[in-house]
Amino acid sequence: KNEVEQSPQNLTAQEGEFITINCSYSVGISALHWLQQHPGGGIVSLFMLSSGKKKHGRLIATINIQEKHSSLHITASHPRDSAVYICAVRRGLSGSARQLTFGSGTQLTVLP
Amino acid sequence: NAGVTQTPKFQVLKTGQSMTLQCAQDMNHEYMSWYRQDPGMGLRLIHYSVGAGITDQGEVPNGYNVSRSTTEDFPLRLLSAAPSQTSVYFCASRAIGTLEEFSNQPQHFGDGTRLSIL
């Protein structure tokens, strides 16, 4: 079983829909990252969370440390949101625990 | 600032050939890393460096060498390319700061190198 599991693997939505992408992890972590990979391949860091909730524009990320679960929400989705969304966790602050472990990603397609 | 710059963007090699993927960052980041991305497997860490002169192995280091002679550059070398090394390679960097700050430093990625080994 992978340490970081994302669901769904693929998601197709109509423009304007509210979207939720889930990430579950099986280890203790110091931080969780949400990344966005554009169709051209570039990767952008969206959020870093260690607790609670963060919001940037139409993007909202939440994390529940006790349940080892995080969600990425997109409100009023738009075709330009189409991308692969990747969850990654960092287990600790020193040594090999500082490395990121990545989920396999969620391919989001938003149709006009 | 250019951020993280990877070259080349595309490369085709024959089995047994060697090549170096270049990665440079202009943000004075101590931490740099190389990942490979394969379908259905997510990003996997190949090698990383926490500063000039210091490198260490990641999850999938076999077949790859790295060096870190300067803070800015972190080249990845394939000594004898194999078809299993066909992948998309990403270089990333971040500041380290204090141990407590490390978790809150954003990771900056290059645009990737698409490598095919025939």
Report, as an integer, the average pLDDT of A99-107: 89
| Closest-CA residue of chain A to B98 | A93
Chain A interface, best mutation among B33, B34, B43, B90, by max A CB count within 10 A: B43
What pLDDT score was predicted for residue B1? 62
What pLDDT score was predicted for residue A98? 64
Instruction: Assess whether pLDDT exceeds 90 at residue A56.
Output: no
Q: Which member of B42, B59, B99 has the closest CB to residue A104?
A: B42
Q: Picking from A49-58, A103-112, B89-98, which range would have the lowest pLDDT averaged per residue?
A: B89-98
The pair of structure tokens assigned to A110 is 């938003």
Instruction: Assess whether pLDDT exceeds 90 at residue A109.
Output: yes
| Closest-CA residue of chain B to A35 | B107
CB contact under 8 A, A93 and B103: yes
Sign (positive/negative) of CA torsion A89, B6, B60, B28?
Answer: negative
| Closest-CA residue of chain A to B99 | A93
Residue B7 CB neighbour total at 10 angstroms: 13
Question: In which residue ranges of chain B is pLDDT below 70?
Answer: 1, 97-105
The pair of structure tokens assigned to B100 is 């407590």
Instruction: Assess whether pLDDT exceeds 60 at residue A46.
Output: yes
CB contact under 8 A, B99 and A93: yes
